[in-house]
Structure 1
């Protein structure tokens, strides 16, 4: 008697494809917003870095810098950070003792 080699049946292939589809439906929603969340966290970290360096400059010089490029010139920063979402520039507003760093994509953060 000759042995007959047999491949997968259509039903077995459909079951495997169904299981893979269910696993993808479970996993995709978790990954969908991951890029946006990581960009927002990196933006917040950049804002905290700016707060720290602005405050350090104020403690050293007695006043806040006129612009962020001055922080680079005075070696408080290697370069001015930008928003990771679309490379947008941050806006810094100083009102007395309150400093506001605003991102056009993720909003503002305040430190007093």
Structure 2
């Protein structure tokens, strides 16, 4: 008995050729090169937005603390301990909650050490300003 190849006379190659795979990879690389910069720009913009909101919240807490006590807080932990903040937020630019830079009150007649707060990052924002100046 002779076995016959049921695909006799047909090219039975299966799968993709190397050229097809390379073309698909080139298309994917092109798409990624267009999308990646926008992704990273969006990530930076979201960090900046988070920083702005955190600064507004902490400055508001400092003002409320002063309004209630007549003094500015000595540490950021005072704002947490007296329930003006739930936690000290993480600076989204530096990735730490211990890099905040505090500004003391200008007047010597006022007690406390924290009049204002800024990011401790030396980096420059997308608009060209320094994060530390916000």
Q: Distance in 1 between matches of 2:17 and 2:81?
A: 70
Q: Aligned with 2:86: secondary structure?
A: coil
Greater helix share, structure number: 1
Q: Aligned with 1:49: secondary structure?
A: helix
For structure 1, the 5+ residue unaligned runs are none
Q: Distance in 1 between matches of 2:76 and 2:21?
A: 60
Q: Is the 8 A contact 1:90 1:101 kept in 2?
A: yes
1:86 paired residue number: 95
Greater strand share, structure number: 1
1:31 paired residue number: 39
RMSD: 2.3
For structure 2, the 5+ residue unaligned runs are 1-5, 108-114, 122-130
Q: Aligned with 2:85: secondary structure?
A: coil
1:1-112 equivalences in 2 (<5 Å): 2=7, 3-6=10-13, 7-84=15-92, 85-87=94-96, 88-93=98-103, 94-95=105-106, 99-105=115-121, 106-109=131-134
Q: TM-score, normalised by structure 1?
A: 0.74
Size of the alignment, in residue pairs? Answer: 107
Greater C-alpha Rg:
2
Q: Distance in 1 between matches of 2:63 and 2:69?
A: 10
Q: Is the 8 A contact 1:57 1:65 kept in 2?
A: yes
Q: Is the 8 A contact 1:68 1:80 kept in 2?
A: yes
Q: Aligned with 2:87: secondary structure?
A: coil
